Structure 1
Amino acid sequence: MTELISLAGRRAVVTGAAQGLGKAIALRLAEAGADLIIGDLDESLAAKAAEDITRRHGVRAVGCAMDVTDTSSVRAVADRAVAELGGLEIWVNNAGIFPSVPLLEMSDETWAKVLDVNARGSFVGAREAARRMTDAGTGGVIVNVISTAGFRGSAPGLAAYVSSKHAVRGLTRELALELAPHGIRVLGVAPSHVPTEGNIAAATAAGVPAEQLSAMALMMTGPIGRPGIPDDIARVALFCASDLSAFMTGSTLLADGGTTA
Structure 2
Amino acid sequence: MSSGDASRLSLAELISLQGQRAVITGGGRGLGKAIAFRLVEAGAEVLIGDIQEELARAAAAEIEERYGVRAVGVALDVSDSASVAAAAERAVAEFGGLNVWVNNAGIFPAVPLLEMTDETWDGVFAVNARGTFLGAREAARRMAGGGVIVNIVSIAGFRGSAPGLAAYVGSKHAARGLTRELALELAPMGIRVLGVAPGYVPTEGNLLAAQAAGFLPEDATPSDLMLPSPIGRGGTPDDIARVVLFCASELSSYMTGSTLLVDGGTMA
Q: What is residue 236 of structure 1 aligned with on the other side?
A: 243
From the superposition, tell whether residues 212 and 231 of structure 1 become closer, same or farther in structure 2 (CA, over 3 Å): closer
Q: Return the offset for 1:209.
A: 2.2
Distance 1:75 1:26 in 2: 20
The answer to whether the 8 A contact 2:207-2:221 is kept is no
The number of aligned residues is 256
Q: In structure 1, what residue type is equivalent to 2:48? A: I
Spell out, residue by residue over 1:72-125, the C-alpha distance to the aligned partner (whole angstroms, 9 max, x if none). 000000001111111000000000000000001001110000000000000000
Whole-Å separation in 2 of the counterparts to 1:68 and 1:188: 17
Report the counterpart of residue 41 of structure 1 in structure 2.
Answer: 51
- Counterparts of 1:49-88 in structure 2, within 5 Å, are 49-88=59-98
Identity %: 71
Over 3 Å counting, the alpha-carbon distance change for 1:215 and 1:35 in structure 2 is closer
- In 1, Cα distance between the equivalents of 2:156 and 2:200? 10
Q: Which moved more, 1:158-167 or 1:50-59?
A: 50-59
Instruction: Kindly indicate whether the alpha-carbon contact (under 8 Å) linking 2:203 and 2:222 is maintained by their aligned counterparts in 1.
Output: no
In the other structure, the counterpart of 2:203 is 196
**TM-score, normalisation: structure 1:** 0.95
Is the helix fraction higher in 1 or 2? 1
- 1:215 Cα deviation after fit: 7.0
Report what 1:258 is aligned to. 265
Q: Residue in 2 aligned with 1:121? A: 131
Q: Which amino acid aligns with 1:139?
A: G
Question: Which residue of the partner structure matches residue 5 of structure 2?
Answer: none
Provide closer, same or farther for how the CA distance between residues 176 and 216 of structure 1 changes in structure 2, counting only shifts above 3 A. Answer: same
- Which residue identity lines up with residue 176 of structure 1 in the other structure? A
Q: Within 2, Cα distance between the matches of 1:38 and 1:145? A: 15
Q: Which runs of 5+ in 2 are unaligned?
A: 1-10
CA RMSD in angstroms, aligned pairs only:
1.4
Structure 1, unaligned runs of 5 or more: none
**Are the aligned partners of 2:207 and 2:225 in contact in 1 as well (CA < 8 Å)?**
no
CA 1:205–1:82: 2 relative to 1, 3 Å: same
1:155 matches 2:165: no
Q: Which residue of 1 aligns with 2:107?
A: 97
Q: Is the 8 A contact 1:33 1:59 kept in 2?
A: no
